[in-house]
Amino acid sequence: MTRYQARVEAAKRKGQKRADEFNARYPIGTPVMAYPSVRPEHPVAVTHQQRAKEGRTFGSPDPCKRLDTVTRTPAWILGDGSPVVSVEGYAGGIHLPHVDVKQVTS
């Protein structure tokens, strides 16, 4: 096995562990806030938002698409080991670090 293959296999094991942990804690239908592109705290988003406040941008004032939604599938891993989950209102998977589980109060 090459070093590359070993890295990919290690990434897949790590990603699968993360997906399994997510699935054990959160069933399908769990309310989440999902960020398909960049999270609001990402430096690109912060810079863009600051420039928008100063009137120095054109187009969308917020590059962070936010989806207030629910999960629609269990989490799984991509070929590179990235753990993802599908949510209502978005085609494809969203990387788990871009998904915040919402605290539901009864």
Listed by start position, the domains of the chain span 3-101
Tens digit of pLDDT at every position of the chain (106 positions) = 799 999 999 999 999 999 999 999 999 999 999 998 888 778 877 887 777 777 776 666 567 788 999 999 999 999 999 999 999 999 999 999 999 999 876 5
Q: Specify which residues 85 forms β-bridges with.
A: 94
Q: What is the pLDDT of residue 51?
A: 79
Whether the predicted model's global pTM rises above the 0.85 cut: no
Please list the alpha-helical segments (H only) found in the chain. 3-25, 43-53
Q: What is the pLDDT of residue 61?
A: 59
Contact indicator for 29, 96 with CB cutoff of 8 Å: no
Torsion angle (degrees, nearest 10) of CA 41, 17, 68, 101: -80
Contact indicator for 62, 44 with CB cutoff of 8 Å: no
